[in-house]
């Protein structure tokens, strides 16, 4: 998901109607403060125990101004897409020059999740992790470092964040039986398709992995993923420990 506009910085006032809104919030790691965005579904005021989807963006969206637009035509498209998602969506932003596996970024993401669960009573059995490109690498970092935390994983043109030694089997052992769905373009020149193929091969021993590879498609495979009508229903049907 690319940056198509500037972040709307005016937050909804306390106690205001958050239904169907994207807000900017702040989370702290030691003395550092980080902005992140959060989408509140229509059900936010009428339903407790809502699921949470954490979305990890790619390398091109690193920064501090938010990753999705909230105004104009681009903002309308974003809201239309999110309106189909009956879940809280967390949109942390990795700072420039960093990666999701960096300790401060790791803590920042987990702090946003903890804050969301505490503030909104989110369902800890339905926490989902989605990542694209650099974010796909982030999926495997978080899934292996917080084994059993996530109900399902979606990696889009991602790969193993481990640089040496056994890069794939060690991830699979920590992921265990957590359901995972991977997507990759066969002609990706940015992230080699073999990254996803090797993770799938390692996960197959656990028997809970799905994989879509698209012939003739490059790194923009996320466009194909948006057309996968079964993805969201599959994702939200998963529950930790079931």
Q: Is the pLDDT assigned to residue 175 strictly greater than 60?
A: yes
Q: Which of helix, strand or coil describes residue 241?
A: coil
Q: What is the pLDDT of residue 76?
A: 56
Q: What ranges make up the beta strands (E) of the chain?
A: 21-29, 32-40, 52-56, 88-92, 127-132, 152-156, 180-185, 209-214
Q: What is the pLDDT of residue 45?
A: 57
Q: Is the pLDDT assigned to residue 147 strictly greater than 70?
A: yes
149 vs 17, higher pLDDT: 149
Distance separating alpha carbons of residues 124 and 106, to the nearest angstrom: 18
Q: Is the pLDDT assigned to residue 136 strictly greater than 90?
A: yes
Architecture, CATH, for domain 21-237: 3-Layer(aba) Sandwich (3.40)
Tell me the pLDDT band of 7, cut-offs 50, 70 and 90. Answer: very low
173 forms beta bridges with none
Phi and psi at residue 201, to the nearest 5°: -60, -40
Distance separating alpha carbons of residues 36 and 25, to the nearest angstrom: 5
74 vs 199, higher pLDDT: 199
């Amino acid at each position: 998901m690319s940056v198509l506009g500037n972040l709307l910085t005016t937050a909804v006032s306390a106690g205001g109607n958050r239904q169907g809104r994207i807000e900017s919030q702040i989370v702290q790691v030691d003395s550092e403060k980080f902005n992140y965005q959060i989408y509140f579904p229509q059900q936010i005021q009428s339903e407790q125990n809502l699921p949470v989807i954490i979305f990890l963006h790619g390398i091109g969206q690193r920064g501090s101004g938010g990753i999705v637009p909230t105004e104009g035509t681009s903002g309308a498209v974003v809201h239309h897409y999110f309106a189909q998602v009956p879940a809280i969506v967390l949109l942390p932003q990795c700072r420039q020059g960093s990666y999701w596996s960096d300790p401060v970024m790791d803590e920042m993401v987990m702090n946003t999740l903890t804050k969301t669960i505490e503030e909104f009573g989110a369902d800890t059995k339905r926490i989902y992790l989605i990542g694209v490109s650099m974010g796909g690498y982030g999926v495997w970092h978080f899934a292996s470092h917080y084994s059993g935390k996530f109900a399902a994983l979606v990696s889009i043109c991602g790969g193993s964040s481990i640089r040496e030694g056994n890069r794939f089997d060690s991830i699979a052992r920590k992921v265990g039986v957590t359901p995972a769905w991977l997507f990759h373009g066969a002609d990706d020149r940015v992230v080699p398709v073999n990254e996803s193929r090797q993770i799938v091969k390692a996960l197959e021993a656990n028997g809970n992995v799905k994989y879509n590879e698209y012939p003739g498609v490059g790194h923009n495979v996320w466009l194909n993923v948006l057309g996968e009508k079964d993805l969201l229903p599959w994702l939200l049907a998963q529950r930790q420990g079931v």
